[in-house]
Structure 1
Amino acid sequence: MRALIAAATGLAVALALVLTITAMGAPSGDTSPKPLLTTVPAHP
C-alpha cells in the first residue's frame, strides 16, 4: 500500500512540474549576439 501511495505522489509531483513549465510558456527564441567559437585559439 505504501508503494502505491509513493507512486501516486511521484506522479502528482511530476504532473505538477510539467504543468508549471508549460504555464511559463515557450522561451523567446532570441539568439545570442556573441558568436560561438568554432575553432581552437592559437596558443602563444
Structure 2
Amino acid sequence: MRALAATAIGLAPVLLFLLLVSFVDLPPDGSTSPRPLLTADPGRK
C-alpha cells in the first residue's frame, strides 16, 4: 500500500505538467508556412 501511495505522489507532478502543456498551446518557434502540409487534393502527378 505504501508503494502505491509513493507511486501516486511521484506521478502527480508529471501528470500536472502534462495537463498544463496540453491546455496551454504554445506557438512554435520561428516562422510558419502559410501553405497547409496536408491537402485533400494532392495535385497532378
With the shorter chain as reference, the TM-score category is 0.3 to 0.5
TM-score by length of 1: 0.46
